[in-house]
Amino acid sequence: MSTKLVKAAQPQVDLDATRERLGRMGLFRAAERLEDLMALAVKEQMSPHRLVDELLGEELSFREERRIRTSLKLSGLPTGQTLGNFDFAFQPAIERSRIETLATCQWIRENRTLLIQGPPGVGKSHLAVALAVRAVENGFGVVFFRLEELLTALRRDADLAPAKLRRRKYINVSLLIIDEVGFEPMSRQEASLFFRLVSYRYERGSILITTNKGIKDWPEILAGDEVLATAILDRLLHRSHVLDIKGRSYRLRDLERVATERT
């Protein structure tokens, strides 16, 4: 048999038909990249296996990027604060290696708490958000609340049956971020709702808290209730990480510069 005849016997595969099949399976990125990758495969004499692998790789990374974008949107995290744009040189009190360890998310896997405390402007919220972005990238469910917003949600859900409460995002997500604890003291009702939240999540999920208050000031935040404060701190600080940032305010760095230039 001549080669010509063998070739003629092979059915022609239409690129449009393959693209359509990929589309019907939901592999839209692969469908989009098919033609270019096939041309590249011919040019670089790729093995069939490598071509299939490249095509699936494109689809996977496209889906992963989309998942991260959607999760970030749903998390309520503010945008623009990442580990990449955090200036470690400005805040020498923060050990970079410690932050890099936290960025591996092992503490989230172990349902631990992270407490970031320090005066205004030292980068507490920035680091919290940046670590949360890492958590999303690592596949964890994250939700971000300023304490005030969280308390509003807790008051709204105060009478919810436990089964329904467990479906709330602030209860069932892997990482709950509570930003700005300590600005305003809680009422007695809010403090006990906060206790309920902490006990629900205890050893079931992680909490990241940023606060401008030290541990000794917690009773004052929690409606002056020493017993409740002890119970909450006991749960929060058991198997926790504490980042105590003693440093200058990043917000005031320009003012400091102007002041130094004048003297």
Ligand X SMILES: Nc1ncnc2c1ncn2[C@@H]1O[C@H](COP(=O)(O)OP(=O)(O)OP(=O)(O)O)[C@@H](O)[C@H]1O
- Interface mask toward ligand X for 151-190; x: CB under 6 A: -----------------------------x----------
Only one of the segments 22-30, 60-68, 84-92, 137-145 lies at the binding site for ligand X (rule: CB under 6 A); that segment is 84-92
Query: Per rule CB under 6 A, is residue 86 in the interface with ligand X?
Result: yes
- Least CB distance to ligand X at residue 220 (A): 17
Q: Are 113 and 204 in contact (CB under 8 A)?
A: no
Say what angle helices 188-201 and 226-237 make with each other, to 10 degrees: 20
- Two tokens at 59? 């689809």
Q: How far apart are CA 245 and CA 104, in angstroms?
A: 20
Binding test (CB under 6 A) with ligand X, winner from 123, 173, 201, 209:
123
Q: Are 116 and 245 in contact (CB under 8 A)?
A: yes
Residue 55, class by beta-carbon neighbours within 10 Å (0-12 exposed, 13-18 middle, 19+ buried)?
buried
- Least CB distance to ligand X at residue 154 (A): 21
- Two tokens at 100? 């890099």
Question: Which of Mg ion, ligand X, none sits in contact with 235, Cβ below 5 to 8 A by type?
Answer: none
Binding test (CB under 6 A) with ligand X, winner from 81, 113, 117, 192:
81
* DSSP 8-state symbol, 47: -
Binding test (CB under 6 A) with ligand X, winner from 95, 251, 252, 256:
251
Query: Per rule CB under 6 A, is residue 113 in the interface with ligand X?
Result: no
Query: Per rule CB under 6 A, is residue 146 in the interface with ligand X?
Result: no
Return all residues near 165 (Cβ < 8 A) that are at least 6 apart.
157, 171, 200
Q: Which strand (E) or helix (H) includes residue 43?
A: helix 28-43
Only one of the segments 9-17, 30-38, 86-94, 102-110 lies at the binding site for ligand X (rule: CB under 6 A); that segment is 86-94
The footprint of ligand X (CB under 6 A) covers 81, 86-87, 90-91, 120-126, 180, 210, 212, 250-251
Which chain residues interact with Mg ion by CB under 5 A? Answer: 125
